[in-house]
Amino acid sequence: MAKVTIELPSMLSSVLGGVRRLEAKGDTWRGALEDAFKNLPALKVHVLDETGVLRRHVLCFVNDVNTRFGEGVPERLADGDRITIMQAVSGG
């Protein structure tokens, strides 16, 4: 299992007690997120919807590759990979 870093946006960090970065283990980006949810359960509701997929306003990148498009996303994670969670902000 790869050891990766998950980076969180400041907006999400503020509702999770200030956590901006956490370590996780997993063979895939989904597996690493599941590991992170074990250590920070409140993260799950902000990242996944009721069906278990990424919320519409949440983006997940693996080493700067957007997981929504699938193309170029590594099938297996390697030690040191980085997963970045971003949330869209809208309003006027």
pLDDT for residue 90 is more than 70: no
pLDDT at 8 over 80: yes
Q: What is the pLDDT of residue 88?
A: 81
pTM attached to this predicted model = 0.90
More confident residue, 88 or 29: 29
Mean predicted confidence (pLDDT) in 13-40: 95
92 assigned to some structural domain: no
pLDDT at 56: 92
Mean pLDDT, residues 39-54? 94
Q: What total number of domains does the chain contain?
A: 1
The whole-angstrom separation of Cα 30 and Cα 20 is: 19
Query: What's the CATH number where 79 sits?
Result: 3.10.20.30
- Going by pLDDT thresholds of 50, 70 and 90, the confidence category of residue 71 is confident
What residues contact 76, with CB distance under 8 A and at least 6 apart? 2, 27, 28
Q: Is residue 51 part of a domain?
A: yes
Q: Which domain holds residue 37?
A: 2-87
